[in-house]
Every structure is written in structure tokens, then in C-alpha cells.
Chains A and B, each alone.
Chain A
């Protein structure tokens, strides 16, 4: 299952068809802040690109963390943030046909993983949680989300991440039970 054509259209919208692809969606060890450099004179393109990237995360868990980061600056996007968006799109350039694979006769066993960075946002001191959930060998649910409140310790943020993951897992188990897979 993939959104290959959508990814190609998005690359064309950003005008990056002829640039060089990169291997990762984000630069290593770069933390973006709200007031990095100058404001974009016209944020329309930024809104359009980030909105489209968000839609692409339906089949691209590999960019959901990067897209979560650039989504934080929708209100007042700056030049440096647009650079980050372009990098995600250059990453797509080298991987536009990637998607999800759902194998036949995979088991119906739900497995969930969660993680968190502690106070990863220098602006707000919030932590960003992430989770992955597999049904057998099929990846069905994932998320990269800023926590609602400030965690005062890495343990607290880990527990919050687990709680959010369990929240989703309970819902999924309910759904699975409804359709005959308790």
C-alpha cells in the first residue's frame, strides 16, 4: 500500500524534482526553535507542503517524526523551517515508492512499542512521544506527538508515553474484539 503518485506530485509542488536525494528525513542533532531566523514573507507554500506531508504519513511512518517537528511551526514559519521541510521532501525523492506491506497469513497478535524524548523541544520543554503497533507482521498504528504537559523527569515522560500507547492499544483491542479477534 503506497502513495507513490501523491509523493511525486508533492515533490513537483516543491519544485525539487531535479535536486539530489538524501538518506534521512532530518539532519542529525539539529533542534529547531520558534524564532530561528527571519519569518517567511508568504507562508502559503509552507502550509501547503506541511499539510501534504501530513497526508502522506498515512502510508509513511518513516517521516511522521520529521513531519511532527515541522508542524510545530505552522503559526509562524521561518526560513530555517522551510529548509527542514525541503529536506523531508528530498528524502522522499529517493524513496517515493515506499509504503506499507501487509503479508498474507500473518498472525493476529497485537504488539506495541513506545518511546519518548525528554524535554526535546527547547522552546516549551515538552517531550515528544512515539509509538508503533504491529498486528502480527503488519504495522497498523503509529504516532509522533508532543506531550500535553511538561514532564519533570525522564521517568515521568516515559510513563506518559506508555499511558498514551496503552490508551490506543485498549481502543484497538476493543475494535479487534468487535470484529471477532479478541
Chain B
């Protein structure tokens, strides 16, 4: 089972911030709420119902529809979901740092950096940046 979610290298983060500052690009920061609940599961996972869900003790278990905090694959599932969400925007995952995504457009480009559920967006295509902020 693959359970790791890429986090940006700190050098990449500092490089992006340094370039953003020197070029005067806008820098946007976002957090994804309840990030780990967004992931899709590839496996069937059942859990013991939390106390109080059923009034009497029962042998019923709950099947998880989505990934959940505390699951080993939760962070991976979330990252995969995030990556597929970016695909329609034609973002390309960077080969030097897999948590960096780049999108070239006719009016400029957009850089997107992921650190688990924290996201930094910068670039020169302001329209796409604001579209992205609404979409995510």
C-alpha cells in the first residue's frame, strides 16, 4: 500500500518565494479544509461504529465511502485526488519536485506548490489564479 503524500522541499518553497518577491508576482496562500476527507479509497475498509451510533451493541460495521483521518493511505488518497482535480486545468507535475505544478497559458503561467493541505499559488496569469481559487 502506498501511503506517502509528497511535501514540497523547503528549498523549493524558498526558491518560489524568492522569485515571487523579486518579480513582484502576487502570492496566494490557501488551506484545504478537511483535506483528508476528500480522498477516494481504492480498498474496501470497514470500521467499528463509534459508541453512541447504535443504541444497543451490535455486530454491524460501517463501510467507509471516503478516506478518513488516521488511515494510513489518507494522505496519499488526498494527493491523488488533488492531482486529478488539477488535470482539467492542464497543470503539469514538475519532475524536479513532485509537489510543484506548472501551467502555461496564452497570457502567462501559474505555479502551484502543495504542502500536504497547504497550497501556494503564484504566477502571471491572474485570471487563471482567481479561477483556481474558486475551483479549489
Contact = CB atoms under 8 A, between A and B. Distances in A.
Interface string B4-38: 00000011101111110110100000000000000
A139 B19 CA distance: 11
A181 to B, nearest CB: 7
B18 A135 contact: yes
Given A58-B10, A180-B109, A102 B94 contact: no
Contact of B96 (A103, A108, A178): A178
B21 A102 contact: yes
Name the residue in B12, B21, B97 with the highest tally of chain A Cβ atoms < 10 Å from its Cβ.
B21
Contact of A136 (B12, B16, B22, B95): B22
Interface in A84-99: none
A1 B96 CA distance: 24
B129 interface: no
B41 interface: no
Contacts of B15: 135, 140-141, 172, 175-176
Contact of A181 (B17, B19, B97, B100): B19
Contacts of A175: 12, 15, 94, 96-97, 100
A141 to B, nearest CB: 4
Interface residues of B, number: 20
B120 to A, nearest CB: 12
Contacts of A105: 22, 24
Chain B interface SS verdict (over half): helix
Contacts of A176: 15
A167 to B, nearest CB: 12
B19 A141 contact: no
Contacts of B97: 175
Given A179-B111, A180-B109, A140 B21 contact: no
A171 B109 CA distance: 22
Given A174-B96, A175-B97, A138 B18 contact: yes
A141 B102 contact: no
Interface in A111-170: 135-136, 138-141, 168
A182 to B, nearest CB: 13
A108 B25 CA distance: 14
A132 to B, nearest CB: 12
A105 B18 CA distance: 10
B11 A172 contact: yes
B96 A141 contact: no
23 contacts: A1-B14, A102-B17, A103-B21, A104-B21, A104-B22, A105-B24, A106-B21, A135-B18, A135-B22, A136-B18, A138-B18, A139-B14, A140-B11, A140-B14, A140-B15, A141-B14, A171-B96, A172-B15, A174-B96, A175-B100, A178-B94, A178-B96, A179-B19
